[in-house]
Structure 1
């Protein structure tokens, strides 16, 4: 089972890395799956993954419960918006599909703007949400 999680972790890490460069692939969901897989496969891989720039730029503050920076939120919302627009365009003859996509897109934007906490600034890999920094 550990080998399965290790392989899946590297596969989703690769897709997440490609997603940083290509706006059509979402980075954060792939990195979340990678984090879970590496945590289940080996402590060493988990520690390595948590030290990568991808993790630190996209998930570290969220995983600590501090929220996400606006930059990370905009990156995720932008990627999802591009994918939703592509799907919306491809469903030109399926009005119900377009309505579903529109509802999911609006829910996504509302969730990221109103539910996921926002760190006002980032300094040294940590959100500046607390007075102790």
Structure 2
């Protein structure tokens, strides 16, 4: 019953991940991790293809086994979060200016504490 939903989410995640390869601030690997999760429930053959992929497979396996994020991935994520916080502080007014900073601090702390 849920299989078509998982399949759809997996396909959309792969599409967004592929777009993320060329769009600088759109992450690729998190979408591939989500796709692998969805394909595990809907299409194990497609899950295996993602796990065997030379570029994405090691990241997916590292996340599944240890909750690990690569050092490069952490740096890129933290730089993007810092940039969005600075842009928010400069471009927004009132208390809204602090929302991107709060999100960056909370999510950045979580990302920084994941194993590499």
Q: Which has the higher contact order (CA 8 A, sep 6+)?
A: 1
Aligned-residue offset at 1:76: 3.0
Residues in 1 aligned to 2:16 and 2:38: alpha-carbon distance in whole angstroms: 14
Residues in 2 aligned to 1:46 and 1:21: alpha-carbon distance in whole angstroms: 23
In structure 2, the gaps of 5 or more residues are: none
Residue 103 of structure 1 corresponds to: 102
Aligned-residue offset at 1:52: 2.0
TM-score normalised by the chain length of structure 2: 0.77
Structure 1 runs of 4+ with >6 Å offset:
none
Aligned-residue offset at 1:81: 4.3
Residues in 1 aligned to 2:21 and 2:86: alpha-carbon distance in whole angstroms: 18
Instruction: Flag the structure with higher helix content.
Output: 2
Residue 65 of structure 1 corresponds to: 66
Aligned-residue offset at 1:87: 6.7
In structure 1, the gaps of 5 or more residues are: 119-133
TM-score normalised by the chain length of structure 1: 0.69
Note the aligned Cα RMSD (angstroms): 2.6
1:88/1:98 contact within 8 Å kept: yes
